[in-house]
Amino acid sequence: MTCREVSIRGPPAAFVGRPATHPQGRRTWQTEGDFPDCLAIGNFSSSHELQRSAMKKVLLALTTLTLLATSAEARTWAEIKKSGTIKVATEGAFPPFNLMKGKQLTGFEVDLANALGKQLGLKVEWTVQPFDSLLIGLNQDRYDFVIASHGITPERQKAVDFSDPHYCTGGAIVTRPGGPLTAKALAGKSVAVQVGTTYLENVRKVPGVGDVKTFPRDVDAQAALMAGRVDAWVGDRFTGLDLVKAQKGKIVQGDLLFRERNAMAVKKGNVTLLKELNAALAKAQANGTYARISNQYFGQDVRCR
């Protein structure tokens, strides 16, 4: 299969980016095919016209989100509990957080949500769909909450309510040996990054940074680095660590450009569900469930400290 043109994940603050990160064992790095299949997308997506078009689309999406948030009624906790099923959505393309292994949905966030559902005495019903439509679907009451590595930003908080953070991360510099490992070293260097993400927003703030090449998907940006078409890639720190491990010395991870908190999203105003999710998350963190799942995927506890 070859890479398809995918919809943009959102504006710098409105659709904070995990890779597909991402957000999305953890890594078949190409969800649609091998790295070479995706390289042509990089040239296309780096054009100013595409960036302008993408920004118009994501701004429209954010406006749609805000409007949808004011209509209809989400299921309350009492209604969810009575039904015996909680409906959860994710992207399924952002390893190791959420991904498809064959027909099986798995990943850190998937296992965590399943554990929370069990604690709440509920069956978990999953929906998988593109990242940029997850919050829109939430505000259309297609599911009860979303767990897909959404960074908490002021813009998103206008459209949805966030739980307590279920993990903390940051945007990391990844490069080939001898490449730039710090923000200062990015001066004059080319950087690959996914469009519409906090990664892109923060890369553009780096003083003197060279050519910033944008890509529709995080895996496409990674492919550009692996092919030697850019000096560095900036993406999620845990995604970067996985990629470094998979490439066995071909690339290295440098400094973090920024840090962020990621959380589950519920429809704005659904305070009863939000309360139960926060309580279930706190319980999982207290009884060792969270640490067990986190160590399985990352070899460490990734909760916010």
Whether residue 62 is predicted with pLDDT greater than 80 in this model: the reply is: no
pTM metric for this prediction: 0.73
Per-residue pLDDT averaged across 164-177, rounded?
A: 98
Question: Kind and range of the H or E element at 161?
Answer: strand 160-175
The model's confidence at residue 169, banded by pLDDT at 50, 70 and 90, is: very high
- CA gap 178, 10 in Å, rounded: 32
Q: Is residue 148 part of a domain?
A: yes
Whether residue 73 is predicted with pLDDT greater than 90 in this model: the reply is: no
- CA gap 264, 121 in Å, rounded: 19
- Cα torsion through 11, 13, 18, 23, rounded to 10: -80
Q: Closest Cα partner for 164 from 74, 283, 298?
A: 283
- CA gap 55, 187 in Å, rounded: 25
Q: Do 271 and 75 touch, CB atoms closer than 8 A?
A: no
Per-residue pLDDT averaged across 203-220, rounded?
A: 92
Q: Is residue 3 part of a domain?
A: no
Q: Do 80 and 144 touch, CB atoms closer than 8 A?
A: yes
Q: Is residue 12 part of a domain?
A: no
Query: Which stretch, 35-39, 64-68, 151-155, has highest mean pLDDT?
Result: 151-155
pLDDT tens across 251-290, in order? 999 999 999 999 999 999 999 999 999 999 999 999 999 9
Q: Is residue 231 part of a domain?
A: yes
Task: State the CB neighbour count (10 A cutoff) for residue 271.
Answer: 12
pLDDT score of 102: 94
The model's confidence at residue 7, banded by pLDDT at 50, 70 and 90, is: very low
pLDDT score of 61: 59
Q: Do 58 and 115 touch, CB atoms closer than 8 A?
A: no
Q: Do 149 and 112 touch, CB atoms closer than 8 A?
A: no
Percent of the chain with pLDDT over 90: 67
Whether residue 214 is predicted with pLDDT greater than 90 in this model: the reply is: yes
- For the chain, the first-to-last Cα distance in angstroms comes to 42
Q: Which residue has the higher pLDDT, 13 or 227?
A: 227
Domain count, the chain: 1
pLDDT score of 42: 38
Whether residue 52 is predicted with pLDDT greater than 90 in this model: the reply is: no
- CA gap 225, 216 in Å, rounded: 15
Q: Is residue 125 part of a domain?
A: yes
- CA gap 244, 302 in Å, rounded: 18
Q: What is the CATH number of the domain that holds 78?
A: 3.40.190.10
Q: Is residue 29 part of a domain?
A: no
pLDDT score of 5: 33
- CA gap 111, 64 in Å, rounded: 30
List the domain range (segments joined by +) for residue 230: 35-298
pLDDT score of 33: 35
Could you say which DSSP state residue 98 is in?
A: E
Could you say which DSSP state residue 152 is in?
A: P
Q: Do 285 and 231 touch, CB atoms closer than 8 A?
A: no
Per-residue pLDDT averaged across 279-302, rounded?
A: 98
Q: Is residue 99 part of a domain?
A: yes
pLDDT tens across 84-139, in order? 999 999 989 888 999 999 999 999 999 999 999 999 999 999 999 988 889 999 99
* Upstream peptide bond of 96 is cis (omega within 30 degrees of 0): yes
Whether residue 6 is predicted with pLDDT greater than 50 in this model: the reply is: no
pLDDT score of 55: 56
Whether residue 179 is predicted with pLDDT greater than 50 in this model: the reply is: yes
Per-residue pLDDT averaged across 202-218, rounded?
A: 93
Q: Is residue 60 part of a domain?
A: yes
